[in-house]
Amino acid sequence: MKANFILISLLALTLTACAGKPKEELDTSNTQTAQTMYQQAKDVLDKGLYNRAIELLTIVEGRYPFGPLARQVQLDLIYAYYQAGDITKALAGIDRFIRLNPNHPELDYVYYMRGLSNLKADENALHNMLGIDRADRDLASTRQAFDDFKTLVSSFPQSKYAPEAKKRMLSIKDTLARHELIIADYYLRRGAFLAAANRGKYIVEFYRDSPLVEQALEVMVESYDKLGLTKLKEDTYQVLKLNFPQNNKF
């Protein structure tokens, strides 16, 4: 009986140990090389297991902070944090990388990730899913994303990320123009006509290639009319009719 009890106990312990073992385990023994440890972490990252990849990459970074793979580990951590939705840590890693590696050959990629991360910081999953226009929210991070992509395009014009960065910039400009127009319309409805006119003027001056320029000019015409600024109203109206001859609002 005693022998049987010991055998059953050992079997239970064995089963418990097997059940508790994680699916992706990094061998951190002293016999592991930096390359082997990194490759194990990279395999997890490639599988899309971003939170687990962060854990493993952090172990590699902690053990080999100054090794030949250190910079690549940091780049992978930036990507993993971004994909995991931890934008705060992604941006912290990006800013640290730029500060410590101003001449790194993959700095264009880092600025590209900075732009994507700042865009993601302003995203709202629920509103995106429902298709609700979020141009009325605070767009500080979106504006920063535009600057990030602009830095990429101007500093690394031959980068493989430059074409996509340019597309992102056009999309951001449209979002920012809509943001200004929403505010202008808000001021107009509240009777703050000078503020409304200034918002419209800002769109015309800084987003002149936006399809929203027509509406911005309409806001300006209406605001100048309410303010009794006849000359400004007529001049703006002429600009409106010249550029949008089919406009029949007034």
What is the per-residue pLDDT across 198-238, written as a single tens digit (0 to 9) for each? 999 999 999 998 999 999 999 999 999 999 999 999 999 99
Q: What pLDDT sits at residue 133?
A: 57
DSSP-derived secondary structure letter, 57: H
Check: CB of residue 225 under 8 Å from CB of residue 188.
no
* Cβ contacts of 137 within 8 Å, gap of 6 or more: 122, 124
Task: Give the helix ranges, DSSP H, for 101-245.
Answer: 107-121, 125-130, 140-155, 162-190, 193-206, 213-227, 230-243
Average pLDDT, the chain: 86
Q: What pLDDT sits at residue 129?
A: 45
Model pTM?
Answer: 0.77
Q: What pLDDT sits at residue 34?
A: 85
Burial 188-218 (b: 16+ CB within 10 A, else e): beeeebebbbbbbbbbbeebeebebbebbbb
Tokens matching residue 23: 């699916």
Q: What pLDDT sits at residue 132?
A: 56
Check: CB of residue 217 under 8 Å from CB of residue 204.
yes
Comparing CA positions, the residue from 41, 48, 90 lying closest to residue 62 is 41
**What CATH number was assigned to the domain covering residues 27-104?**
1.25.40.10
The long-range contacts involving 139-147, CB below 8 angstroms and separated by at least 24 positions, are 139/175, 139/176, 139/179, 142/118, 142/172, 142/175, 142/176, 143/172, 143/176, 144/118, 145/114, 145/115, 145/116, 145/117, 145/118, 145/119, 145/172, 146/115, 146/172, 146/173, 146/176
> How many helices (H) and strands (E) in the chain?
12, 0
Distance between CA atoms of residues 58 and 28, nearest Å: 12
Tokens matching residue 165: 């960065």
Q: What pLDDT sits at residue 24?
A: 47
The letter for the amino acid at 70 is: A
Q: What pLDDT sits at residue 137?
A: 67
Residues (pLDDT < 70) of the chain are 1-32, 124-137
Check: CB of residue 123 under 8 Å from CB of residue 142.
no
Distance between CA atoms of residues 25 and 56, nearest Å: 8
